[in-house]
Amino acid sequence: MRIRHLAYVSLMALALAGCNDTLDTAAIDLSKVKNKVEQPLPSHILADMAKKGMDRNSAIMIRIFKEEGTMEILKANQNNRFEVIASYSICAWSGRLGPKVKEGDRQAPEGFYMLTPANLNPNSKYYLAINTGFPNRYDAANGRTGNNLMIHGACSSSGCYSMTDQQVLEIYAFARDAFKGGQKAVQLEAFPFRMTAENMWKHRLSPNIEFWKMLKVGYDNFEVTKRPPEVEVCEKKYVFNQQAGGPFNASGKCPVMTTPPALQMALATYDKQYQADYASATKKFDGMAWYDPSEAERKAVVAKQRKGHDIAYAPTGTALAAGKMVKVADLESMMSNQSGQQVARGGTVASPTTTASIRLATAAPNAAAPQAGSTMVAANIPANVPIPTANPMNPVVNPLAYAGNPAVETAQTEPPKKPPFWKFWAKSE
């Protein structure tokens, strides 16, 4: 009886870890929501804001972690530091870890995106939607293609981050209130995983590792300042929190840049601990690496969990549940077999771990450790990414913006550049 009871408790825990993030959210009866665009945030969230010293209309940012299937809303407190106010289990995301490269690859974007009020779509066919703004300046400079990539409801995805309708109702409300409070743009940070030393070691053999090292610089800047980093693009790379002697051009040469001294010192301290943690991970997982599961494998784990149980689960599951640590010697054959089967079915391989990447990383494992204090890390452009021969133009403002035609779901341009209020060195603390 005790074993049966424990099994029941475990299944209930899994259910709560699925699409529904809180009991309060799960209790929302959408049929009784009279105006979804103006639906207020739940009382428990407003109470939590008050406890944390946050104004209802203060600025927000959004962070996504694909591997664990989590979306976080962070909000500015009275000290202008951002902390998590709500966390949601992503209901569905397609593809596997790695950035979106081209239209039709089913990959969800990874990178830094700025969301303006024009990105909100109140009339989405997926209940409510927020356009991620893909492709941004970095994506365009690197020839990446795709559009209509959203955070939306309906729990169904092909390159988007899909939530339940109840979840997107809250996420939309967070953004709406922040814009009403005067925020000009909300920063969306989409990461493959939490960029800890252990995770960076586990994924060191991925062909995306150089791209992820570049994202990690922005990740580290937030961890140090607790404020969204100022993001620029030059030489087809992201750069963060840089004081520059000239304008930035996404494909052009970077201007002379300097990191504010206080930030530089803080990053150096952060990096010292990171390097110690990376060394520990190297010893802990010597000869091992992470096997990143395919979308089909994630779905198979979900199907197995649901079998015989009337419980709601996120339909595409999480990479943490379906992936595993394996011996490096076994990883090559696993990925080779999977790639061969996928190609045989007429499909394409989305950022697989390749034989070449395994041999390269195995030959020089320490080269995978990024430096947190560096201001810019060279991006690794996968072989299947087309490189434009001329400087690509920034995305053009689409005349069919939501303000004029809210039924249209199309990518928006980023807002005009100006010093953000969260700039780390803008004032003495």
CB 147 within 8 A of CB 411: yes
| Active site (catalytic) residues | 152, 160
- Tokens 């996928």, residue located: 342
Give pLDDT tens digits for 327-349: 998 887 777 666 555 544 444 44
ω into 135 cis (within 30 of 0):
yes
Query: Could you tell me which CATH class the domain 35-343 is placed in?
Result: mainly beta
DSSP state at residue 399: S
pLDDT of residue 417: 56
Q: What residues pair up with 324 in beta bridges, in sequence order? A: 291
Q: Is the pLDDT of residue 364 over 50?
A: no
Helix (H, G, I), strand (E, B) or coil at 63: strand
- pLDDT at position 340 is 53
Q: What does the H/E/C string look like for 261-308?
A: HHHHHHHHHHHHHHHHHHHHHHHHCCCEEEECCCHHHHHHHHHHHHCC
Tens of pLDDT along 16-32?
A: 344 444 434 445 788 88
- CA atoms of 28 and 36, how far apart (whole Å): 12
pTM of the model: 0.79
Q: Give mean pLDDT, residues 397-410.
A: 40
Q: Quick one: what percent of the chain has pLDDT higher than 70?
A: 70
- Determine the pLDDT at residue 317: 81
**Could you read off the pLDDT of 38-83 as tens digits, one per residue?**
999 999 999 999 999 999 999 999 999 999 999 999 999 999 999 9
Encoded amino acid at 372, one letter: A
CA pair distance 126, 132, nearest whole angstrom: 15
CB 133, CB 402: distance < 8 Å = no
